[in-house]
Chains A and B, each alone.
Chain A
Amino acid sequence: MERTNSITKKIGSIYFSLLSPKEIRKVSGTKVITADTYDDDGFPITMGLMDPRMGVVEPGLRCKTCGQRVGKDKCPGHFGHIDLAMPVIHVGHIRTIRDCLRSTCRECGHLLLSSKQKDEYFQELKKYEQEGKNKAPLFKQIITEARKADKCISCGREVGKIELDKPTSLRENGKKLTPSEVREWLEKIRDEDLPLLDINIKSARPEWLILTVLPVPPVTVRPSVTLQSGERSEDDLTHKLVDVIRINQRLQENRDAGAPQLIVEDLWELLQYHITTYLDNQTSGIPPARHRSGRPLKTLAQRLKGKEGRFRSNLSGKRVNFSARTVISPDPNLSINEIGVPIRIAKELTVPVRVTVHNIDWCKKIIIQKFSVNGDSNEYIPGVNYVVKDTEGMKRRIKVTEKNAENIAENLEIGSIIERQLMEGDITLFNRQPSLHRMSMMAHRVKVVPHKTFRFNLCVCPPYNADFDGDEMNLHLIQGEEAKAEAEILMKVQENILSPRFGGAIIGGIHDIISGGFLLTNKDRKIPIEDASHILAATGFEGKLPKVFTENGKRYVTGKDIFSTLLPDDLYLEFKAKTCLNCEKCTAPDCPYNAYVIIKKGILMQGTIDENSIGAFNGRILDRIIRDHGMGAGREFIDKVTRLAIAAITLFGFTTSIEDEDIPDEAKRQIEERLNKAMKKIDSLVKAYENDELESLPGRSIEETLEMEIMRETGKARDSAGEIAGKHLGLENSAVIMAKSGARGSMLNLSQMSGCVGQQAVRGERIHRGYQYRTLPHFKKNDLGASAKGFVASCYKKGLTPTEYFFHSMGGREGLVDTAVRTSRSGYMQRRLINALEDVKVESDGTVRHAGGQIIQFEYGEDGVDPSRSIAGKSVDVDRIIADIREGV
């Protein structure tokens, strides 16, 4: 709010440069010489690491440099400095240092190029500058060119070979260069050569790459925390600075006392180590500095780098207020647009409401109503947590309690802001990580519910990719009217039913909803009138009861008619159901399997409702309703289908158990026979191979041919085992209903459970690794047979033999590794893609432009069509038009 009045300024340019030792000393609030922080009385030591001249952390204390306090007056903290006894190399600049040494003369500092070459490069540089081209390759070329010289042109000194031992040690012709020597050398480099070394004279001198004075960051950057025990705990940076000062002191003492060269060098080396780790504690080649507990210290580079670093975790993304997170659970009675928010959360989250002449009465009422209700009724009554009064620019936040509620309400002024608790109907954003597409964050209307979990309609699981095995999700409460409107129009669940990925519904029936639809509409199911009214009541049906017919004195309604009550009257549709067997000769529209759906005038004439009708990814009815009647109707349809199908399936009862995988002994025998046949076939293939009788396939070696033939045979064996088992698994079987209707599982799953698991593969080949010439010691060497190479003849129900189990684990492991690798890799790809595309948008003229105004596409997608408004990617649905004309609509 305060910010709106201040002038926003645009950053013209930023440029980075090195701090010179002089500048470091100039900005320094104090020189730091003591490695200690606080004295015994708990006061910061002067010229210690917590010297108040570097700023203060405790509120109330005044900074000794600027005299201001930390919070209110905003003392930003001030740098200090440590004078290093001996120079030290800065790890971050080691490559630049190396390149400077390689391309200059140690004696006179001249760049090792002829003046003609220099002139040429200066010209080139100027040209690059004008064209705005990347100069990096040119600088690289200059260095390679300079390294070719073996003698200095101006003084004739022989050029030594400079080598870099990671991380910070340099050698000339094998002899170690001390940082002092390096610094002396860099000092000699002439200003006029610097542009060719990619150094701007205005911003840096090469010798500044060697540290002689170390800036100490302000105390505010590395605050110490007081633990409950009263013990002080210092920041990692402070710890590291303590080390630096200690060694620096010892180095100075030893050097001044004229200690042996060896000792001085060791200490110097140690100082280098400490400063290197202070800058970056993950420098390769040296062990990371550790805390007493053994945890590696988080030093400067670690604060910025990576996912947990300042950029990715504090600047690109932040923790927010007005949000909540808890476990999710399903509730089919909620609309897809709704979300059930627990009372506990509802009481915590607030929305600011400004008090005006129009709403002051309402505001007063809401402040007191919570306390005026007698007893603890289970009903949720929203209250007000805070009232913010704005008197003469001073903001006062008053907490509303039972005691002062009456008083606050009475004295409520226009212009104050009340922080009202969550109310039913508020718009919130609901999100589940990983947020891979825009449907990962959608707007829901609040419904306050008891208990502790967020609840939502099951149909919204696919876009969030959520299940209820402990998943947690986040909720964000929208604070402003503008944001509310935007979320309502763009982000509400019903606006996102159609996916921009393929132009079809991504929200729709899943699992039991599909099973329920199937049970209700399969064959000519008759439902007693009592049950029918029960199901219809679940959808809130208010129209005329569907056609009732009498049979044996009992009154019935057909399941199809019940389902038809949800369909709009103008719906004409024909399509193949999921249950369609794809018969060789399709007999549609007279499908004997009830797998051809025909809807006329909004009445389901024939066919079974399953995944292809109401499912999340290819529900045809759903798709059609949305296209013809809009998102609102689509939402209503989904809501009602959920309730109808759940009511139906609850009424009929639906369960699956291990018995569903039972097959008669006769079938088991047949499967065994079939598998034996396959084994024999494989054995004969192997024999043929061993006798060199096998004919190789075109472009394959004999071995490859054998493998392919065997793989084909094992595949066929598994399929026919599944077929045999499938013959005995009919539609009276719940598992089969789920597989056939598309609710869950597949026939392959079932055939693996009751038929045969089949060939296990690693990297698409039969399993061949393990022992010498064999997979396991249970087999003969060079055995090429089926069971020795990972064929699992048993089914899951019967159980696997030990060797089969082992092979199965090998195959399973590959699957796990694959998913693990895939998710991390695709995550990184996604990140790069998003970063590249984040500020590309479609302008009002249809062009796609970058933030800089550059045109990326002249027409969005070349055709200007929004894929979520397209018909499976096409802008016109020709088939639909023809069908409609035929139908005479």
Chain B
Amino acid sequence: MVKEKIRIQFNIMSHDLVPLHEIISEKEKTELLKKYNIEPNRLPKILSTDPVSISIGAKPGQIVKIIRNSHTAKEAIAYRFVVESSI
């Protein structure tokens, strides 16, 4: 029996400089797009191959919510549209 390979890698999501990323639900997505009156491709983007996307399992077409620490507002929320990478 072949033993499963275990990748020993640092979990980037627990790094101090990586802000919290969450995939938002379809319902939240429609609400968000309505709120900003915008098509998804007008949002900032994130590659599906981005280490963060891989880590949280974000797939193209989904929207990721990012909660960052902010100098001005203490906490700032941003969204990114996950896009397919051609690489």
A residues near B (Cβ < 8 Å) are 127-128, 131, 133, 845, 847, 852-859, 861-865, 873
Q: A861 to B42, Cβ gap below 8 A?
A: no
A862 cross-chain contacts in B, Cβ below 8 A: 68, 70-73, 76
Using A845-B37, A855-B38, A858-B78 as known contacts, list a sample of 7 further A-B pairs with CB atoms less than 8 Å apart, ordered by residue number in A.
A847-B36, A853-B38, A854-B44, A855-B44, A858-B79, A862-B71, A862-B76
Q: B86 to A131, Cβ gap below 8 A?
A: yes
Q: A855 to B42, Cβ gap below 8 A?
A: yes
Q: Within the assembled complex, what's the spacing in Å between the Cα atoms of A853 and B73?
A: 24
Q: List 8 interface pairs A-B (beta carbons < 8 Å), by A numbering.
A: A845-B37, A853-B38, A854-B42, A855-B43, A856-B44, A858-B36, A858-B79, A861-B72
Q: B72 to A845, Cβ gap below 8 A?
A: no
Contact of B73 among A127, A854, A863 (CB under 8 A): A863
A131 cross-chain contacts in B, Cβ below 8 A: 84, 86
B residues near A (Cβ < 8 Å) are 36-38, 42-44, 68, 70-73, 76-79, 84, 86
Q: Within the assembled complex, what's the spacing in Å between the Cα atoms of A857 and B43?
A: 9
Q: A855-B36, A855-B38 known; A133 and B77 CB under 8 Å?
A: no
The distance from the CB of B27 to the nearest CB of chain A, in whole angstroms, is 19
Q: How many A-B residue pairs have CB under 8 A?
A: 43
Q: B86 to A863, Cβ gap below 8 A?
A: no
Q: Within the assembled complex, what's the spacing in Å between the Cα atoms of A611 and B62?
A: 56
Q: Which 10 A-B pairs give the minimum distances between C-beta atoms?
A: A863-B73, A862-B76, A863-B72, A862-B70, A862-B73, A854-B42, A131-B86, A853-B42, A862-B72, A858-B78
A133 cross-chain contacts in B, Cβ below 8 A: 86
Q: A845 to B36, Cβ gap below 8 A?
A: yes
The distance from the CB of A125 to the nearest CB of chain B, in whole angstroms, is 12
Task: Identify the interface centre among A859, A862, A864, A873: most chain B CB within 10 Å of its CB.
Answer: A862
Q: Within the assembled complex, what's the spacing in Å between the Cα atoms of A847 and B44?
A: 12
Q: Within the assembled complex, what's the spacing in Å between the Cα atoms of A858 and B79?
A: 8
Q: A855-B38, A855-B44 known; A128 and B86 CB under 8 Å?
A: yes
The distance from the CB of B47 to the nearest CB of chain A, in whole angstroms, is 11
Q: Within the assembled complex, what's the spacing in Å between the Cα atoms of A853 and B79?
A: 15
Closest to A856 in B: B44
Closest to A861 in B: B72
The distance from the CB of A863 to the nearest CB of chain B, in whole angstroms, is 4
Q: A859 to B76, Cβ gap below 8 A?
A: yes
The distance from the CB of A94 to the nearest CB of chain B, in whole angstroms, is 32
Q: B77 to A858, Cβ gap below 8 A?
A: yes
A858 cross-chain contacts in B, Cβ below 8 A: 36, 76-79
The distance from the CB of A876 to the nearest CB of chain B, in whole angstroms, is 12
Q: Within the assembled complex, what's the spacing in Å between the Cα atoms of A864 and B76?
A: 11
B76 cross-chain contacts in A, Cβ below 8 A: 858-859, 862-863
Q: Within the assembled complex, what's the spacing in Å between the Cα atoms of A459 and B37?
A: 45
Contact of B86 among A127, A845, A854, A873 (CB under 8 A): A127
B79 cross-chain contacts in A, Cβ below 8 A: 858
Closest to A849 in B: B42
Q: Within the assembled complex, what's the spacing in Å between the Cα atoms of A862 and B86?
A: 31
Q: Within the assembled complex, what's the spacing in Å between the Cα atoms of A707 and B13?
A: 47
Closest to B78 in A: A858
Closest to A870 in B: B72
B43 cross-chain contacts in A, Cβ below 8 A: 854-855
B42 cross-chain contacts in A, Cβ below 8 A: 852-855
The distance from the CB of A197 to the nearest CB of chain B, in whole angstroms, is 22
Q: A859 to B36, Cβ gap below 8 A?
A: no
Closest to A854 in B: B42
Closest to B75 in A: A862
B71 cross-chain contacts in A, Cβ below 8 A: 862
Closest to A867 in B: B72
Q: Within the assembled complex, what's the spacing in Å between the Cα atoms of A127 and B68?
A: 35
Q: Within the assembled complex, what's the spacing in Å between the Cα atoms of A281 and B51?
A: 50
A853 cross-chain contacts in B, Cβ below 8 A: 38, 42
Closest to B76 in A: A862
The distance from the CB of B34 to the nearest CB of chain A, in whole angstroms, is 12
Q: Within the assembled complex, what's the spacing in Å between the Cα atoms of A855 and B73?
A: 18
A854 cross-chain contacts in B, Cβ below 8 A: 42-44
B70 cross-chain contacts in A, Cβ below 8 A: 862-863
Q: Within the assembled complex, what's the spacing in Å between the Cα atoms of A131 and B86?
A: 8
A861 cross-chain contacts in B, Cβ below 8 A: 72-73
Closest to B69 in A: A862
Closest to A131 in B: B86
Task: Identify the interface centre among B37, B72, B73: most chain A CB within 10 Å of its CB.
Answer: B72
Q: B73 to A859, Cβ gap below 8 A?
A: yes
Closest to A853 in B: B42
Q: Within the assembled complex, what's the spacing in Å between the Cα atoms of A128 and B78?
A: 29
The distance from the CB of B86 to the nearest CB of chain A, in whole angstroms, is 5
A863 cross-chain contacts in B, Cβ below 8 A: 70, 72-73, 76
A847 cross-chain contacts in B, Cβ below 8 A: 36
Q: Within the assembled complex, what's the spacing in Å between the Cα atoms of A746 and B72?
A: 35
The distance from the CB of A129 to the nearest CB of chain B, in whole angstroms, is 11
Q: Within the assembled complex, what's the spacing in Å between the Cα atoms of A863 and B38?
A: 21
The distance from the CB of A853 to the nearest CB of chain B, in whole angstroms, is 5
Q: Within the assembled complex, what's the spacing in Å between the Cα atoms of A865 and B84?
A: 35
Closest to A852 in B: B42
Closest to A874 in B: B72
B72 cross-chain contacts in A, Cβ below 8 A: 861-863, 865, 873
Q: Within the assembled complex, what's the spacing in Å between the Cα atoms of A855 and B79?
A: 10
Closest to A127 in B: B86
Q: Within the assembled complex, what's the spacing in Å between the Cα atoms of A128 and B43?
A: 21
A864 cross-chain contacts in B, Cβ below 8 A: 73
The distance from the CB of B45 to the nearest CB of chain A, in whole angstroms, is 9
A857 cross-chain contacts in B, Cβ below 8 A: 78
B37 cross-chain contacts in A, Cβ below 8 A: 845
The distance from the CB of B74 to the nearest CB of chain A, in whole angstroms, is 8
A873 cross-chain contacts in B, Cβ below 8 A: 72
B84 cross-chain contacts in A, Cβ below 8 A: 131
Q: Within the assembled complex, what's the spacing in Å between the Cα atoms of A393 and B77?
A: 58
Q: Within the assembled complex, what's the spacing in Å between the Cα atoms of A845 and B42?
A: 15
Closest to A857 in B: B78
Closest to B68 in A: A862
Closest to B39 in A: A853
B78 cross-chain contacts in A, Cβ below 8 A: 857-858
B68 cross-chain contacts in A, Cβ below 8 A: 862
Closest to B44 in A: A855
